[in-house]
Structure 1
């Protein structure tokens, strides 16, 4: 539903595009861009944000785990 004119419609897959939120020059250097899926209202033409698109995270093929419970501490404790 359009928040400007109130027209209700179902977005067509072909008309959905990716938009980016405007940023200041300082934010361009420090923050990642906020991207979202959007569609234009067929009646008034305003942009309607559908969903925020999070950046993809690529994990390395081999992930090493550190298991602190399996290791024994050697002489690290002080006795009174």
Structure 2
């Protein structure tokens, strides 16, 4: 089994938004998927309650990075990151 990286910076991630609608698994190909790279984070512990990550989406200019609160209800997108 490959060893996983514990740090978050530099990891690729996927996020999906359902807006105010509940996402239906049967329509997974229609979900609003976005991918990118985590460029900075506020904590090294990925389970920290106040964790924020600076994300750079693949389809957006790098100057338009944005901070995302990972565990707060403020975020309209759900995110996960790769362990590779």
Q: TM-score, normalised by structure 1?
A: 0.30
Structure with higher RCO (Cα < 8 A, 6+ apart): 2
Q: TM-score, normalised by structure 2?
A: 0.29
